[in-house]
Amino acid sequence: MAFFAVFPAVFFLALLSWRTCQSEVLAEHLPLTPESLSVSFSSSLQRLDLQWTVHKLPYQELQMVFPIEISRTETSKVIWMGNYSTIVKRNQVLHWSWESELPLECATHFVRIKSIVNDARFPELSFESNWSSWEEVHAHTPGQKPLLFPKDKLVEEGANVTFCFNSGRKHGMSCYLEEELIHGEQLDSNIFTFKLTNVPFIRQEGTHVYCGVNYDLLDGTVLFVSKVLEEPKNFSCETQDLKTLNCTWDPGVDTSLSYDRQQQNYILFESFSGKEKYCEHNKWCTWEISQDLEATYNFTLTAENYLRKRSVNSAFKPIDRVHPKAPESVQFENVGATSAVVTWKIPVLGNYFTLLCQIELHDKEDVRREHNVSIKVNGEFLFSELEPDTEYVVHIRCANSKRFWKWSEWVTHTLVTAQAAPSKALDVWRIVKSSKGFHNVTLFWKPLSKSHANGKILFYNIAAKNLDNESELKLLRIPAPANGTELTLDQGSYQIQVTANNSVGTSPASEIVIAADSGNEEVEEEKINGTNDGFLISWKPQSGEVTSYIVEWCEHPQNLHCDLQWKNLGPNTTETFISSEAFTPGIRYSFRIYKLSTEKTAYLVEKKTGYSQELAPLDSPQVAVKNLTSHSFTLSWEDYDTERQPGFIRGYYVCLKSNATHCHPGSVKESLPDKSTCCKHDISDPKQKTFLVKDLQPESFYEFSVSSYTSAGEGPNGTFTKVTTPEGRSHMLIYVVLPMTLCVLLIAITCYWKSQWVKEKCYPDIPDPYKSSILSLIKSKENPRITIMNVKDCIPDAIEVINKSEGTKAGCMGTLKPLTGSESSKPANNYQDFPCPAACISFENLTYNESACDSGSCAYIPGPATALPCQLGLLASPDNLPNTAEDAHTNFQGDIPAGEISLNYVAQLASPMSGDKDGLLINPPAPELCSEYKMQMAVPSHLSSPVPSEMAASPEPF
């Protein structure tokens, strides 16, 4: 027990003694101040490198902390403070670096350091040393010319860079980045600094930075900005020959510059073997397999450049990374029209692996068929159900079937099958035109598709058989690639067969029948509306047996060769949609629907016409003015062709301009582009091509234009035509004068008719002697010299006036002397006194009267002028004869008492020869017969006596 009581006291005294001894040891080595401090710098890295030692360590190693201060320009301007913690060993040289944002050449830097023991094992040593003295660093020699720092610095894209410019106390200084002004701050009187943030990549040759005073360049530098180095992507290794590993990767963005120090390198390191290889390429590298294929490889790929490093890892077994080479020696055997055998070989791998090979078969329409085959070294596969004369593309690739890693590269070869006879009949159609007793038939057929031609078509056979005379047969051979021909047939019925032929055989025959009445069908055309995509064509189901319907149209109807197209449809179809890239807006397309009977005869059933897209009319009608009056006129455009317009004409607009302020009912006022107005009338009937403009003012000025419109809009406005209405009174005058003229004309006709009636009743025409049948009879029998006496041939002879007094024998009141030959030319009346045998007035009219001559009775026969005691000789023209007689009668009547005067008219003396007037005047002959004269007597009523029968028979007015 005494021992246990004494032991604690002894232990405490021993420990106290040890601590005292330890304190004495430490007291001998304190303080632990850093010594031998030296500072160096790297301008390219803008880095300060510190180096120092700590002497007299009491132990082999201590955990220590070294506070560090860095000042700029002055020791009092501390710009950075920090601690560097490390384990310090005896006689160890310590190193530490600091990178400056500001180039070291821009200012003087100062560095100092002290130490702190921070070792938990020795808490009694936890105290600080004194600061070392300031170490001064000069990176730039004072007094040099102005310089811009840093020089040719290399940074990554997006980094921040600080520049400084030693201006040498110059003012007006400015700096630029690629001609862009940079704003900065004055560090001191000589140093100007500026900072670029997030610097961009501009070019591999670097970015230019320069400074100057008043546009005077003092110094400049190049800032090299590289892309950020990326981590390699898709790093993997594989083998194709079981001897070499091929490692590949995606390097990402290329960080290379034209700067020599910027190199992008790749290093491949295998951790199990400890081997390392510098890769010569940036995307791949090879590695020799030296171990068993079942061994594991662990690779590290490191990418590095001057600024940073990036690395990736991959671990694998070579047996799991087998990538076969592409198949070789591909051949085709036993190639037929529908089958072929393909063979191939896989090199290098030998019989160590079972390979899975994939075979793809493609035709030109990109239809793909896939097949999988397991092989060792040689492969073989049979293709069946192929198309004749078809080109196929065969692809083959293989892979390790048990430990699949990758397919081999595709190998591609071409297979062409043999030809066969065409397997489908041609799609045939026709156009029939009848004229002059013949059918002009144009045949068309569509070329067979590649899958149905089964080879190159060489020619087409055409056989036309007359169904009315089967012995008549026409055969034609049309060389390919023709798709039509023309036939001239009589107007009988014909059966036409068309076949296609290649080098192997003939296609099934296509049959069509041309009826005797083909080409004469008349069907009313129906308008339809199309769309930009095409036309929806529909028709009514047809009665009877129908095998199919055919719709035909022309894709280019305005061309001479319209490019006829047709579509063959089933018998139960009643509509179809026709689309084509050739359909153009504004072009009218016509569609004809035929039904095909069981006898292969086509009958036209319907016609359609329309536009895929209607457009406004191209031109305006040419208008003529008709029936112009003072109040109206008619517009006519009968010659306007609506069929050639780019849309269905829906109607017309008639625009009338006048001085009137209001429009007539049925028209609306509309403003024109020239700011004038017109009255616009809408004619909604496209067939109406005339328009009556009425209710106009006389002598007024009007302008009109006519334009057509479709569903797409109105056509161009035509030129306004000017019309002036005529005067209104002239128009009224026509209505007044015309009826009056008609009335006057009617009255004149009526009066003329009445006058003729009165004349016929009261004054009948004297018979024309020349037209007397009696005269012709006399001439022929008795005397051919007998003629008709004309009035112009008569010469007045004499008028005898006889006065008679009661109980006495009286003489004439005046004696008339006959005219002598020399006096005959005077127009005056001359009289000759001669004794009157009786108290009477006698006028003798010597007129031809054959009947009197025959009877031998004459009232009075004058003799020669000398022997006529009471003869009045009067020479005057026949026209003056009545006046002369009237004057004589008047004169005599005044002197002769009434009832005592007798007038005897002695008429003209007829010439013995017709037309001999001169001879009559010179030597008037005496009439041979009394029958040549006719005497008329004018006797007062109280002295009248019965008229002789001869005179009563032939009364003659004078």
- Tell me, what CATH number does 188's domain have? 2.60.40.10
pLDDT of residue 475: 92
How many angstroms separate the CA atoms of 920 and 916, rounded? 7
* Residue 285 burial class via C-beta count within 10 angstroms: exposed 0-12, middle 13-18, buried 19 and up: buried
For residues 367 and 721, the model is more confident at 721
Ramachandran category for residue 178: left, alpha or beta (phi over 0 → left; psi -120 to 50 → alpha)? left
Confidence tier at 898 by pLDDT (50, 70, 90): very low
Q: Cβ distance 165 to 217 under 8 Å?
A: no
Query: Does the pLDDT at position 640 exceed 50?
Result: yes
- Would 764 be classed as within a structural domain? no
The total number of residues shown for the chain amounts to 958
> How far is 855 from 486, CA to CA, in rounded Å?
106
What's the pLDDT band for 940 if we cut at 50, 70, 90? very low
Q: Which residues contact 423 (CB under 8 A, 6 or more apart)?
A: 452, 454, 507
**Percent above pLDDT 90 for the chain:** 33
Q: What DSSP line would sit under 631-677, residue for residue? A: S-EEEE-TT--STTSSS---EEEEEEE-S-SSPPTTEEEEE-TTS-E
List Cβ neighbours of 342 (8 Å cut-off, separation of 6 or more).
330, 331, 332, 333, 359, 380, 381, 383, 394, 396, 413, 415
Beta bridge partners of 538: 575
For 666-684, letters b (16+ CB in 10 Å) and e give: ebeeeeeeeeeebbbbebe
Closest to 769 in 3D by CA, of 752, 790, 784: 790
- Which pair of structure tokens corresponds to residue 290? 């030296």
Ramachandran angles phi, psi of 571, nearest 5°: -70, -20
pLDDT band at 778 (very low <50, low <70, confident <90, very high): low
CB 430 within 8 Å of CB 512: yes
Full domain range(s) for residue 351: 328-417
Domain boundary among 75, 109, 137: 137
**Which has more pLDDT, 181 or 31?**
181
Token output for 486: 């023309």
User: Residue 791 falls within a domain, yes or no?
Assistant: no
834: Cα separation from own chain's centroid: 122
Q: Is position 22 within any domain? A: no
| pLDDT tens figures, 537-554 | 999 999 888 999 999 999
Among the listed ranges 246-255, 350-359, 513-522, 771-780, which one has the minimum average pLDDT value? 771-780
pLDDT of residue 595: 93
pLDDT at position 2 over 80: no
User: Of 211, 226, 241, which residue is a domain's last?
Assistant: 226
pLDDT reading at 355 higher than 70: yes
Across residues 191-205, what is the average pLDDT? 85
Give 111's pLDDT tier (boundaries 50, 70, 90).
Answer: very high
Q: What is the pLDDT of residue 528?
A: 93
The phi and psi torsions of 773 (rounded to 5 degrees) equal: -75, -25
CA distance 274 to 426: 77
How many whole angstroms separate alpha carbon 50 and alpha carbon 38?
A: 6
Tracing tokens 């001559």 back to the chain, one arrives at 853
Give the CA count within 13 Å in the CB-facing half-sphere of 640. 26
At 62, the pLDDT band (50, 70, 90 cuts) reads confident
- What is the arithmetic mean of pLDDT over 421-438? 90
First to last CA, the chain: 224
Residue ranges of the alpha helices (H) in 670-772? 728-762
CA–CA gap between residue 450 and residue 813 (Å, rounded): 145
Q: Are 414 and 393 in contact (CB under 8 A)?
A: yes
Are 500 and 601 in a shared domain?
A: yes
What pLDDT shows up at residue 838? 38
Q: Do 120 and 169 belong to one domain?
A: no
Give the best-scoring range by mean pLDDT among 510-514, 698-702, 837-841, 931-935: 510-514
Together in a domain, 606 and 517: yes
pLDDT score at 855: 39
CA pair distance 526, 721, nearest whole angstrom:
36
State whether 485 and 589 are in the same domain: yes
pLDDT of residue 540: 92
- Average the pLDDT over each of 257-266, 304-313, 359-368, 682-691 and give the range with the smallest value: 257-266
Cis amide bond preceding 150, omega within 30: yes
Q: What pLDDT, on the 0 to 100 scale, is given for residue 376?
A: 84
Number of H helices, E strands in the chain: 8, 60
Say if residue 952's pLDDT is above 50: no
| Statement: residue 367 has pLDDT above 90 | no
One-letter amino acid of 35: E
Domain assignment present for residue 406? The answer is yes
Please list, in sequence order, all residues whose beta carbon lies within 8 angstroms of the beta carbon of residue 881, skipping any fewer than 6 positions away: 796, 874, 908, 958
**Chain position carrying tokens 């592409």:** 326
Q: With bands split at pLDDT 50, 70 and 90, how would you rate the model's confidence at 520?
A: low
Give the pLDDT band (50/70/90) at residue 768.
low
The predicted pLDDT at position 123 comes to 82
Question: What is the strand order of the sheet 309-316 is part of?
Answer: 275-278, 265-270, 297-304, 309-316
Tokens standing for residue 514: 């041309």
Q: Band the pLDDT of 771: cuts 50, 70, 90.
A: low
How many Cα atoms occupy the beta-carbon half-sphere of 692 within 13 Å?
6
Q: How far apart are CA 783 and CA 780, in angstroms?
A: 7
> Which pLDDT band, with edges at 50, 70 and 90, does 785 fall under?
low
577 and 458 together in one domain: yes
Answer with the residue of higher pLDDT: 643 or 836: 643
Q: Is residue 838 part of a domain?
A: no
d(CA 858, CA 950): 9
pLDDT band at 793 (very low <50, low <70, confident <90, very high): low
Q: State the pLDDT confidence band at 497, using cuts at 50, 70 and 90.
A: very high
Domain boundary among 417, 451, 469: 417
- Residue 14 clears pLDDT 60, i.e. is over it: no
Instruction: Answer yes or no: do 467 and 602 share one domain.
Output: yes
Residues 460 and 542 in one domain: yes
Q: Which two tokens stand for residue 929?
A: 């017969």
Quick one: 310 and 455 in the same domain? no
**Judgement on whether residues 435 and 581 belong to the same structural domain of the protein:** yes
pLDDT of residue 333: 92
Task: Please check the confidence at residue 873 and state whether its pLDDT lies above 60.
Answer: no
In a domain, 617, yes or no: no
- Of 212-226, 581-595, 698-712, 845-859, which range is least confident? 845-859
Of 823 and 407, the structure prediction assigns the larger pLDDT to 407
Edge-to-edge strands, sheet with 355-362: 368-375, 355-362, 391-400, 411-416
Q: Which residue, chain included where needed, has tokens 């849309």?
A: 647
pLDDT digits (tens, 9 = 90+) for 903-936: 444 444 444 443 444 433 444 444 444 344 444 4
Does residue 560 share a domain with residue 434?
yes
151 and 127 part of one domain: no
Report the number of distinct structural domains present in the chain: 6
d(CA 617, CA 715): 4
Residue 800 domain-assigned (yes or no): no
pLDDT band, residue 832 (cuts 50/70/90):
very low
Q: For residue 620, how many other CB atoms are within 10 A of its CB?
A: 20
- Is residue 812 very low, low, confident or very high in pLDDT (cuts 50, 70, 90)? very low
C-alpha distances in Å from residue 10, one per residue of 21, 22, 862: 17, 19, 237
Given this model, what pLDDT does residue 492 score? 84
Burial class (CB in 10 A: 0-12, 13-18, 19+), 87: exposed
Give the pLDDT confidence of 114-164 residue by residue, as tens digits: 998 888 888 877 778 889 899 988 876 555 566 888 888 888 888 888 888
Q: What is the pLDDT of residue 166?
A: 78
Phi/psi at 130 (nearest 5 deg)?
Answer: -80, 155
Q: Are residues 450 and 524 in the same domain?
A: yes
Query: In this structure, is residue 736 part of a structural domain?
Result: no
Cα–Cα–Cα angle for 632, 635, 640, rounded to 5 degrees: 175
Contact 238, 322 (CB under 8 A): yes
Using alpha carbons, select from 828, 848, 829, 835 the residue that is nearest to residue 927: 848
For 765-770, what is the mean pLDDT?
Answer: 66
- Please check the confidence at residue 777 and state whether its pLDDT lies above 80: no
